[in-house]
Amino acid sequence: MNLQESGEMYLETILILSNEHPTVRSLDVAEYRNFSKPSVSRAMKLLRDGGYITVDKDGYLHLTEIGREMAEKIYDRHRVLEQFLMNLGVDEDTASQDACRMEHVISDTTLTAIKNYLDSN
C-alpha cells in the first residue's frame, strides 16, 4: 500500500516518539507535530485500517512490522537529506524542514547517490 505524505509523517513521528519514550499515544503525536487531536485521530484510524499500526486497550500506539519498515525508511531518508543539506552549508533548522519535505518525493536512485556521496566525503 502506498501512503500519502501525511501518513508517512505520522509513521515517522510514532517511530521517533517510540525511540524516546516507552509508550506513545495519539495525544503525544498531536503535541509533537502541533496537529489537532481530531486530525491525528482520523490519521490513526487510517493507519490502523491499513495495517501500519495497532492501538492497544490503553490507547498506546504500536507500529506493525510493515509500519516500522515504512517509518524507518522515511526517517533514514530524512536523516540522509538533512546531513547532505548541512554539508552544503544549510543551517540545521532549515535543513531539517527541507529534508522533511524532500523525503517524500526523492527517488531511491537519487537518495542512493546522495548516500554514496556522503560516504565518500
Residue closest to 82 by CA, chosen among 105, 110, 101, 107: 101
Instruction: Please give the grid coordinates belonging to residue 98.
Output: 527541507
Q: Quick one: average pLDDT of 15-24?
A: 96
Residues 44-103 have pLDDT tens digits of 999 999 999 999 999 999 999 999 999 999 999 999 999 999 999 999 999 999 999 999
pTM: 0.86
Q: How many CB atoms lie within 10 A of CB 36?
A: 10
Helices (H), the chain: 5-20, 26-33, 37-49, 65-87, 92-102, 108-120
Tell me which of 3.40.50.970, 1.10.10.10, 3.40.50.740, 2.60.410.10 is the CATH number of domain 5-69. 1.10.10.10
State yes or no: pLDDT of 2 exceeds 70: no
Cα 47 to chain centroid, rounded: 13
Residue closest to 115 by CA, chosen among 83, 74, 72: 83
What pLDDT sits at residue 114? 96
Tell me which of 3.40.640.10, 3.10.20.30, 1.10.3720.10, 1.10.60.10 is the CATH number of domain 73-120. 1.10.60.10
What pLDDT sits at residue 74? 93
- The domain limits of the chain are 5-69, 73-120
